[in-house]
Structure 1
Amino acid sequence: MSVLVFENSGGRSRSVKRPRPVKSCTECRQRKLKCDRLCPCSQCQKSQRACKYSASDQETGIGSDASDAETPERPVKRPSRPSVAPSGDTSGFVQSNGPGSSSTNYTPMEEISSRLERLERLMVEQRTAEQRPSKPHRYPHVLAPAVTIRALSVKGGLRTRFFGQNSTKVLLNLFSEAKQFMNDMAQTDGARELFVTLQKVYKALQEDHKRLLEPITVFVDSMMPVSKRMADILPKRPVCDRLLEAYIGASEGLYRVVHLPTFRQEYERYWEGKGHCEAFLPRLLCMMSIGSRFETEARGLGHNRLDSVHAPTALALVRNWLDGLKGKHLVDINTLQAEVLLVHAQRTITMRHQESWAQLGLIVRMAMTMGLHRDPSEFPQLTPFVAENRRKLWYTIMDMDLHVALQCNLPCAVREGEYTCRPPRNIDDADLYPDMRELPPSKPLDFPTSTQMQAYAASTLPARMRVAYIVNKLDTIKDYGEVLEAGKKLEQMIDDVNSIFPRHQALDTQQKFKEWRLRALLDMHVRRPLLALYRPFAMGTITCPPHILSSYLKSSMTILTYMDELDHSVPGFEDVDHMYQLVLKQDIIQAAFSVCYFIKTAPDINSQGNWNPGASPGPSEASSSATYDTTRPIWSAATLTQTVEKTMDSLIALIKDSSSDIRDIVALSVVLSSVQPGTAEQRFERITSGVRKILDTCLQSLKTKPGSSISALPVSHATSHYIHNWANG
């Protein structure tokens, strides 16, 4: 702003620029940017520059053509805004009312205004500091020992198999005493004969399981067309009706594969003899196999077709049919549905995670060649009905792939950013029909529909896929910031599950707790990645943040106590319990091992009232007791022990199911006995007693199964004497 000043000496005038109070920071002033005068200001935050306010600039009036000394004094109508002090000045402002200052003293109101502005700025600075992530040096990341998160089995120098952090082989490395006992059990007096017997019984169980999984020869080796053989193996319609409903109740909640109204119409046409598409029978046989696992006494492994289908034979025929397809059939949506259902059905019979992981990799790529990874809106030739069903199938494939990848501790076949397909809408299948011109609007996630579970699961998928990515790059993590950020997102999602699907509305006994089962599975969909994320740190590092420890323990205990919500005396409880134990068996075993780890390292109160860590820590957790917070844990060591013991009883009862591998159960039993306090002799007695209980259950299972004979076991004279004594009383 220029004004004319008349000089008395020469009558000449000159233009003088009066200095303005400098309010902007140094960087904004140099770049001629609008500054909001915060510290740091928004412009410096965007450009990630150091924001500074120069006090000397304020005093000398940088940017002026003349100093204050050169201009005549005039009353100041309003005081200038106090300058922000340079970084490091704890006062926050430079006092401008001292000698040599260009501004006058403040009036009382002006002083109050100045103080309010200062207080506001300090509050903004404090809020900004609170929003910054915690400094990494608070919890420096120490890389977990490799033996606690992965292992490689090498046989013959050429055959190798990778094991991830969830496998029993790796979990045993956390318990040195139990592992040493299992390695030396053949040389331990008092346990040698017991374990030799158990090993031979295990081989007999393996042979029995192998026999049950063999397809019926008359069907698989027949020269008849495969479609005819698939039709011949189907049971009568009343049985198929019951098994189809069992499949829908158990699976078509989170994993949406088919449009149920359309499939039911085709199902009716088949039984009425009005024709069906070529892919109908393969998909139906897979559904019958899944329903048989949860609804029949033989669990889909019996040869009697009066109440179920023989799942191994049915799935072998479906695989035979798929392998015979060529050309255009390989990019048919019905073929892709059959592939997905086949993998799903095979996983209910045998939990071969790495085989499923490889098969799902092929299915993902098959889906991509069909364009399912791109949103159908990109292709105008697709109808709304077809488009929405493609979205459901694509998110089912991604969810299965993520689930198996976390179980194997291997990368997913697809990552975030590699697809554009939008999540399916929360609408009922009845609202979708082939001739529709546009999709109805999606209902809120808390509104129950046939797609509600998948719609919510799809909304959590990016966060869960992020966890899988972090778990597979553990060696590159420098601090816990990324881990805690991803973990807290999942914890919030778990809270949302309990809010959207409340427990008290899911305890219906007429449908065998259908809503409860679906909610439990949805909860596990989110909880499983959380456990995989926190597991390497909670059970492998010495500088783990307390939040990770407590959250990991809570989730592990939640898995072990899920069934406590249900009344054990109501009809249908046994079927629901078996389904829960069967579907989540690996998660339950991992959670039980984790709780055993906390039993070993949990604080306890001695007679003097002091905190002491658990007894006999192993090599990898010797200092982990130091990571505990100094407060009392949520559960005492006795409560944790009782919970694992109850879980052991459920796992032992599952031995009668041929899909159960007793090696995991034996390892957990030994670990549980070894982490409890007591002398070495007491722990040895607990170990042998627990193993003997498992052996008794195995023998009982072999004795009651048709085609198995206890006397046929290839055992020594002493072992035969033990079995004879057991069998007779």
Structure 2
Amino acid sequence: MADDRSAVHGGPVKARSVKRPRPVKSCAECRSRKLKCDRLNPCSQCQKSRRVCVYSSLDQVGAPDPVSGPDQEAGDSRPKRPRHSLLTSPEHEGQSYQFENVVVSATANPGSVEAGTGGQETIADKRLLESRSPAADSRSSRRRHGARVAAPAMTIRSLSVKGELRTRYVGQNSTKVLLNLFSDARDFMNNMAKRDSVRGLFYSLQDVYRALQHDHKRALEPITVYVDSMMPIQKRMGDVLPKRAACDRLLEAYIGVSEGLYRVIHVPTFRKEYEEYWEGRRCCETFLPRLLTMMSIGSRFDTDSRGMGHDRSDSVHAPTACALVRSWLDGLRGKQLVDIHTLQTEVLLLHAQKTIAPRHQDAWTQLGLVVRMAMSMGLHRDPSEFPQLTPFQAETRRRLWYTIMDMDLHLSLAASLPCATREGEYTCRPPRNVNDEDLYPEMKELPPSKPFDHFTDSLLQAYAAKTLPVRLRATNIVNRLEWVRDYTEVLEVGSKLERLLDDINCLFPRHHALDTQRKFKEWRIRALLDIHVRRPLLGLYRPFAMGSTSPCPARISTSYLKSSMLMLTYMDELDHTIPGFQDVKDMYLVVLKHDIIQAAFSLCYYIMVSPENVGPDIATKHSGSPKEPSPSPTSGTSDDSSAVEPIWSVPTLVERVEKTIENCLAQIRDPSCDLRDIVALSIVLNSVQAGTWEQKFERITAGIRKIIDICRPILKMPQGHMSSLSITPAATVPVETRGTPSMFGGTSMGALPMMQRDWLGRGNLDDAAQFLDSFLDYWNPTPPTAFTPRDQT
């Protein structure tokens, strides 16, 4: 061994004492940059460079060195070697790690090492060889599977299994997964049909749900006389259009609502085609498909029927229009598939379908095809690389590419699935902040981009494009939660997103004195920009703020609560007496329905763990002892271990969620509305509030009964004796008449009047099981666990 050392160092090696690793006290940034840290929070180095100063959980006195790991054997005093798996694993690609003057790049070949000083390369190679030993692999495996900072897997993802072959993945934004945070509510729903005390209520809910399903299915069915006709597709698309006056209004509605953040067309050029069509001139084959999708989007926000009516006098039937456009697209072949207008039609159709009945996984799958179609046409490369493209074509392509990427990011967050595009895989530069009138086909060069405080037709997209790299990075973290070991990267990306939100508030201040028209316009711009930056922030913080097994920094939980509350209070900034306020509210509920439901569930979680709400039963559930109430996420430890007081009281949060349920119920007939989400939210809200099990049972059943009573008149269903069925807690039922005990105090069949027992006896339990398959199984695909009675003393 001594000879080997002499060969490496060129001389004899003196014996040296082995020292234990010193405790690491510097912040993460100073450690990585080899700077002297004064150990303040934030330290002076990070203050000067305006970096996020974070001390990881290992950066404490007496903590083991992260290279050595916490599992180093006491008798093994040798310093740990770099792990070969670390150098080759794709999740560490692009990072570099430094070990004693030897810098190893994760992107380099594992056998190539860049030496910091002469003669160190051989030592690095020996370390790599030693790291491949079985003992090193064992230690490496233990470190890789060490403590995590994210929430348990059951609160982040799930797999719905139907039969033997049908499976569907759902992520952290799904109601089914969110319900795993609320065990009381989940238990009630999984056993609802089994309890005699609520079986009548269950059958009433079943009737309402089936009536809604039938109503939505009928509304979404295309008009057969158009879709099944043997007439040419162009003729059928022209026939389904409303009159010129209605088309004018719907086109303006589309431009005002959609052509801001999602720039698909050049408005002046399309208006020219639009005029030629109504004058009877020959138009491009792709004109009618694009126009129909625009009419569908405009109908969703500017008509009483919301695009679901069959009357062509003032609207277009959106499902029929989308079916015709899809049929036209499926018939294209060859060079038609790489036409820029065809790509515009695909994007417009996807956007229209998303506003009618949002099915995020289906839309995510379809958008993957659109992204690859755009790449096959070269939109991911900057047009400056292709001199044959004119400046006008170049800017049009940039706008369309960033529209596709923004839609990809949105759908990826909603479906909790990876983006089809990632940073570094495209070179296309962001579009410029210029008006459409400044662009025309014959132009020789593009005008300079205006500053962001200057409003243009492309302001929303230009600013959103600036924020896209940070939002993509946040989405990437969400999709690799298994590899998150501390809060450093999470806090860094979250801080950047929060600064972008501050910039939006500076550009468009709230409660600014404006006339009615301008106030609505600025509110819409600010709300759209705020939503698109806040979505990835919520997705990034959600696994740590809700359900995490270890306390997260208070900054994360506080920011998550604020963002969730803001999602539910956008409309509070507008005067309810403004003309057209109801149309704006309907648009808000349709576009943000998914985000609103998630935000309401988040508020319920904060209600559940709030110190105001901790009673003996809840304290026992969350901490295992009535004397130790569970900590609130808003009072968790931050970087400096300082506590943060709750921002809103429990009654305020409860009132906000109740108002959200009422707003969603007002849209119950719209195909974008899902009764299952509303019922689940109501049950969760009433189960997380403080009280005895009997009080919770009363609140839950009263909430379901209220939903049924609201839905019946809307659906024009007759009032039956189902909704008036009395529901009695177990505490009021004589002991001798009780059946199987229930966590929520259900009664037995024997406690009900004879007439109600006879009616319930006619219920078909097979039908109830099938209904559970499509209704309750939506929330939790796993079979209900065996029922365990609780001590209700």
Residue 31 (structure 1) aligns with = none
- On the 8 A contact 2:371/2:404 being kept in 1, the answer is yes
Aligned positions of 1:247-396 closer than 5 A:
247-396=254-403
**Percent identity between the two aligned chains:** 64
Instruction: Work out whether residues 634 and 646 of structure 2, in 8 Å CA contact, stay in contact via their aligned partners in 1.
Output: no
Partner-residue secondary structure (3-state), 1:162:
strand
Matched residue of 1:655: which SS?
coil
Distance 1:676 1:125, change over 3 A: closer
SS in 2 for 1:303: coil
Inter-partner Cα distance in structure 1 for 2:668 and 2:401: 35
SS at match of 1:137: coil
Q: Distance in 2 between matches of 1:178 and 1:335?
A: 47
Displacement of 1:499: 1.0
- Give the 3 Å change call, closer, same or farther, for CA 582–626 of structure 1 in structure 2: closer
- Return the index of the structure with the highest Cα Rg: 1
- Pairs within 5 Å for 1:607-646: 617=621, 623-625=630-632, 628-629=635-636, 630-646=643-659
Structure-2 residue corresponding to 1:651: 664
Query: Which amino acid is the alignment partner of residue 571 of structure 2?
Result: M
Deviations along 1:384-416, one digit per CA (max 9) or x if unpaired, are 011001000000000001000000100000100
Counterpart of 2:704, as a letter, is: V
Preserved contact between residue 153 and residue 162 of structure 1 (Cα < 8 Å): yes
Counterpart CA distance in 1 for 2:341 and 2:31 is 53
Matched with 2:81 is none
1:683 to 696, 699, 704: 696
Mapped partners of 2:503, 2:300: distance in 1: 31
Q: Distance in 1 between matches of 2:631 and 2:440?
A: 58
Contact 1:423 1:458 in 2 (8 A): yes
Aligned length: 601
CA drift of 1:578 comes to 0.7
Q: Which residue of 2 aligns with 1:135?
A: 56
Matches within 5 A, 1:191-230: 191-230=198-237
1:348 maps to a residue whose letter is T
How far did residue 503 of structure 1 move? Answer: 2.8
Aligned ranges 1:392-411 → 2 under 5 Å: 392-411=399-418
Contact 1:428 1:450 in 2 (8 A): yes
Q: Which amino acid aligns with 1:243?
A: L
* Correspondence for 2:467: 460
SS at match of 1:257: coil
Q: Are 2:606 and 2:632, in contact at CA under 8 Å, matched by a contact in 1?
A: no
Match of 1:84 in 2: none
Give the secondary structure class of the aligned counterpart of 2:428.
coil
1:41 match: none
Equivalent residue number for residue 127 of structure 2: none
Distance 2:50 2:530 in 1: 34
Q: Which amino acid aligns with 2:250?
A: L
Do the aligned partners of residues 510 and 132 (structure 1) sit closer, same or farther apart at CA in structure 2, a change above 3 Å counting? closer
**Aligned twin of 2:493:** 486
Q: 1:548 to 1:47 in 2, by over 3 A?
A: closer
Structure 2: distance between partners of 1:124 and 1:320 = 61
- Amino acid aligned to 1:519: R
Aligned to 1:421: 428
Distance in 1, matches of 2:617 and 2:507, equals: 39
What is the distance in 1 between the residues matched to 2:435 and 2:493?
32
Name the SS of the counterpart of 1:153 in structure 2.
strand
Residue 624 (structure 1) shift? 4.9
Q: Deviations over 1:138-191 (max 9, x none)?
A: 697434211100010011021100111011000000000011011111123432
Letter in 2 for 1:599: I
2:554 to 531, 540, 546: 546
1:559 corresponds to which residue? 567
Show CA shifts across 1:290-349 (max 9, x none).
Answer: 111111111111111111100111000000000111111100000000000000000011
Deviation at 1:510, TM superposition (A): 4.0
Deviations for 1:195-220, whole angstroms, at most 9, x for unmatched residues? Answer: 12111221121112111111111101
Secondary structure of the equivalent of 1:293? helix
Query: What amino acid does structure 1 have at the position aligned with 2:442?
Result: D
Displacement of 1:623:
4.8
Amino acid at match of 1:648: I
Distance 1:241 1:178 in 2: 49
Alpha-carbon deviations, 1:574-632, whole Å to 9, x = none?
A: 111111011001100000000000001112299xxxx9996675699995537724443
Of 160, 185, 195 in structure 1, the residue corresponding to residue 192 of structure 2 is 185
Output aligned runs, 1:703-718, within 5 Å. Answer: 703=716, 718=759
CA distance in 2, matches of 1:233, 1:509: 35
The alpha-carbon distance between structure 1 residues 295 and 135, as it changes in their structure 2 partners (threshold 3 A), is same
**Cα distance between partner residues in 2 of 1:46 and 1:564:** 44
Distance across 2 between alignment mates of 1:402 and 1:129: 28
Query: Which position in structure 2 is the counterpart of 1:702?
Result: 715
TM-score normalised according to structure 1 size: 0.78
Contact 2:356/2:672 (8 A) holds in 1: yes
* Distance (whole Å) between structure 2 residues aligned to residue 468 and residue 424 of structure 1: 22
Contact 1:233–1:309 (Cα < 8 Å) also in 2:
yes
3-state DSSP of counterpart to 1:503: coil
Paired with 1:482 and 1:665, the residues of 2 have a C-alpha distance of 35
Aligned counterparts of 1:136 and 1:368: Cα–Cα separation in 2: 43
1:637-685 superposed Cα distances (whole Å, 9 cap, x missing partner): 1111111111111111111323311000000000000111112111111
Distance 1:658 1:48, change over 3 A: closer
Paired residue type of 1:134: Y
Q: 1:320 to 1:508 in 2, by over 3 A?
A: farther
Distance in 1, Cα, partners of 2:30 & 2:188: 60
**Residue 143 of structure 2 aligns with which residue?**
none
- Residue number in structure 1 paired with 2:101: none
CA contact (8 A) 1:215 1:313 kept: yes
Say if 1:428 and 1:192 are closer, same or farther in 2 by CA, change over 3 A: same
Partner residue of 1:673 out of 662, 686, 694: 686
The answer to whether the aligner puts 1:497 opposite 2:504 as a matched pair is yes
Sort the Cα spacing of 1:136 and 1:719 in 2 relative to 1 into closer, same or farther, 3 A.
Answer: same
* Whole-Å separation in 1 of the counterparts to 2:188 and 2:613: 28
| Structure 1 residues 123 and 583: CA distance shift in structure 2, 3 A | closer
The answer to whether the Cα contact below 8 Å between 2:52 and 2:492 also exists between their aligned partners in 1 is: no
Structure 1 residues 638 and 617 mapped into 2: Cα distance closer, same or farther (>3 Å)? farther
2: CA distance, partners of 1:510 / 1:397:
30
SS at match of 2:197: coil
Whichever residue aligns with residue 149 of structure 1, its letter is: I
- With over 3 angstroms needed to count, the CA separation of the structure-2 counterparts of 1:205 and 1:49, relative to structure 1, is closer
Read off the aligned partner of 2:306 and give its amino acid letter: R
Contact 1:177–1:618 (Cα < 8 Å) also in 2: no
Cα distance in 2 between the residues matched to 1:292 and 1:222? 24
How far apart, CA to CA, are the structure 2 residues paired with 1:692 and 1:397?
Answer: 43
Q: Write the distance in 1 (CA, Å) between the matches of 2:488 and 2:579.
A: 48
Name the TM-score, length of structure 2 as normaliser.
0.72
Partner residue of 1:10?
none
Q: 1:125 and 1:204, CA in 2 relative to 1: closer, same or farther beyond 3 A?
A: closer
Task: Identify the residue that residue 579 of structure 2 maps to in structure 1.
Answer: 571
Q: Find the aligned partners of 2:231 and 2:513 in 1 and give their Cα distance.
A: 47
Aligned to 2:476: 469
Q: Does 1:148 align with 2:148?
A: no
Runs of 4+ in 1 over 4 A off after TM superposition: 45-51, 122-132, 138-141, 505-508, 611-624, 708-711, 715-722
* Range moving further from structure 2, 458-467 or 645-654: 645-654
Q: What secondary structure is seen at the aligned counterpart in 1 of 2:442?
A: coil
Alignment check: 8 A CA contact 1:303 1:310 kept: yes
